[in-house]
Amino acid sequence: MPTESARGELGYYIVSDGGSMPYRVKVRAPSFVNLQSLPYACKGEQVPDMVAIIASLDPVMGDVDR
C-alpha cells in the first residue's frame, strides 16, 4: 500500500498468515528509490558537481539503509 511522504512514495508490503502478527513486512523508502537515479544524473558531469546533484535529491541515508 503506497502512501505519500515528503520525499516521495513510501511503500509498505504486509503479508498475514491469519494470526495476530504480520508474517512479513517490507518497507520501501523513497530515498532508496531516488538514489537509484544518481548514476544517470551524474553521467557526464564533473566530480565537484556531484555534491550539488546529491543535495538536489535530498536523500535521508537512514531511509536508504533500511
> 10-residue block means of pLDDT along the chain (66 residues)?
79 91 89 88 93 89 76
Q: Of the candidates 20, 8, 25, which has an alpha carbon nearest to the alpha carbon of residue 64? A: 8
3-state secondary structure of 50: helix
Stated pTM of the model: 0.62
Q: Distances in Å between the alpha carbon of 7 and those of 21, 33, 35, 61?
A: 29, 10, 11, 12
**pLDDT at position 48, please?**
93
